A and B are shown apart, each in its own frame.
With several copies, the nearest count.
Chain A
Amino acid sequence: MLSSDDTSLVGSNTILERAGASLGGRSILRGLDVEISPGQVLGVAGPNGAGKTTLLRLLATLISPDQGSGFVLGARLGSPDVYDVRRFIGLMSHTPAVIAELTIRENLEHAARLIGADLERIDTALRVVGLAGAAATRGDACSFGMLRRTEAARLLITRPRLLLLDEAFSGLDVDAQELIDALIGRTIEQDGAVVMVSHDQAHLVDRAARVMTLSAGRLETVT
């Protein structure tokens, strides 16, 4: 039987070719060429409103390009293939996605069950992110950093092959920031790819092989 983490059916090819995207009838991204190889960290920088979050949502298959084309983990964006690869994409966005009425543990259990992951990973993940003692706290009674840690725990459990981090360090205390590094490290080890958005150039340069800078929806520089 296939394990739920089996990725043999998933491509590793993630690439955008002259891709553009629109929101609310306005063209936000234009003519982006991006290639992300397994085992690599790509940094994304750019001023506020440049389109970094929109780029991550495009790579997460949550929006479709209205220009050019793209593949994520081998699935063509805008095609039904994306449904097969979504499970292997992990996204940490500006606002944490934790179900308010469930406790931290229940949130993780729910995710593990839906994805078919081993439930035993939950306890370990809770310990790793330092929430073992707060596992019974409901989502709506969590501090901001606790929500972010819960997300980190979920990403530890779901083991994405494409990890998308939107200012993942914000809201975490100094100790917990190392968690993000651990997440990145593990994804790379398992031959996954990471795209990280940050406003801190030093953060990016330390971790990413390449850093691309967006400006007004276009690629400005790649270093």
Chain B
Amino acid sequence: MNRVRILLATAGIAVLTGLWFAFTSPVDRLQGEFSRILNLHAPFMWVAFLAFGVTAFASIMWLIRRTPRWDRLAMASVELGVVFTATGLFTGMVWGQAVWGRAWDWADPRMASTAVMFFVYIGYLALRRAIPDPEMRAKRSALLGAIAVIQVPLVYFSVNLFRSLHQTQSIRPDGATMPREMLMALLVNFVAITYLYFALLVARLHLARLEEASAAETAREPDAVTPPRLSEVKDV
């Protein structure tokens, strides 16, 4: 419990530090003040990928080991991945609105593929909730978790893969070389947000263990079906 609190508190500090760097670093002349959002947008997306990767790993481990802890890890990591993707999408949209004057374009392969990835993991969570049997839930979500991860490289490389089909945005600085200070701010935020992910992960796992322990308390032995007591028929 204490450990969890300390982790969360330090994660808060790390994120604040990251924000400080984001707001004091020099800005890209072309994109203006809004380019500071990149310091959050990119790390959130990266960490979301990391989270889904962790889920895939945990899912495969569950399929091999079949122990509940891997299932818990997969579930906790998807939940965080979804939240991080949502934040990444949101910051991307704010930025897009500011820079291109459009928040969204389905024709952009990266946006479309990110959205699909987001929905699929929301579907993963809905599926989990729909299955009451823990073993069956773990099995099916492990399969889905292990398979769904193939979208991650698709999202990551979508810009390159589909360039032949669609023009990429001209001011999108993919792979552009940045000034040192800007790179520094980005890296600090990357570290801070990764740390935030791990802190939240530990907290979520802690909660999941508590939930499972309370569920185990109520779990019963197979039912005692007893012979009928016909003597009491008259009392009904």
Contacts and interface: CB of A to CB of B under 8 A. Distances in A.
Interface string A13-29: 00000000011111110
8 contacts: A48-B225, A50-B225, A121-B236, A128-B233, A133-B223, A143-B225, A156-B236, A179-B230
A178 B222 contact: no
A149 B229 CA distance: 12
**Residue among B132, B224, B227, B232 with most chain A CB within 10 A:** B227
Contact of B222 (A136, A186, A217): A217
Given A26-B219, A133-B225, A175-B228, A124 B132 contact: no
Interface string A180-223: 00100110000000000000000000000000000011000000
Contact of B228 (A129, A134, A185): A129
Nearest to A146: B225
A178 B230 contact: yes
- The list of the 10 closest CB pairs from A to B, nearest first, reads A133-B224, A134-B223, A49-B225, A175-B227, A130-B226, A156-B236, A182-B233, A130-B228, A124-B235, A24-B133
Contact of B229 (A50, A121, A127, A136): A127
Interface of A: 22-28, 47-51, 121, 124-125, 127-134, 136-137, 143, 145-146, 149, 156-157, 175-176, 178-179, 182, 185-186, 216-217
Dominant secondary structure at the B interface = loop
Contacts, number: 83
B135 A25 contact: yes
B134 interface: yes
Contacts of B132: 24
Nearest to B223: A134
A148 B18 CA distance: 65
Contact of B236 (A48, A157, A175, A216): A157
Contacts of A26: 219-222
Given A23-B133, A128-B235, 9 more contacts: A25-B135, A48-B225, A128-B229, A136-B223, A149-B228, A156-B233, A156-B236, A157-B236, A178-B228
B233 A47 contact: no
A132 B226 contact: yes
A156 B229 CA distance: 13
Contact of A28 (B219, B222, B225, B226): B222
A36 B3 CA distance: 55
A130 B226 CA distance: 5
Contact of A216 (B219, B220, B222, B232): B222
Contacts of B230: 128, 178-179, 182
B90 to A, nearest CB: 37
A50 B132 CA distance: 23
B161 to A, nearest CB: 35
B228 A179 contact: yes
B227 to A, nearest CB: 4
Contacts of B224: 133-134, 216
Nearest to A48: B225
Contacts of B229: 127-128, 130
B87 to A, nearest CB: 35
B65 to A, nearest CB: 14
Contacts of A136: 220, 223
A49 B227 contact: no
A217 B222 CA distance: 8
Contacts of B226: 130-133
Contact of B232 (A47, A127, A133, A134): A127
Interface in B199-236: 219-230, 232-236
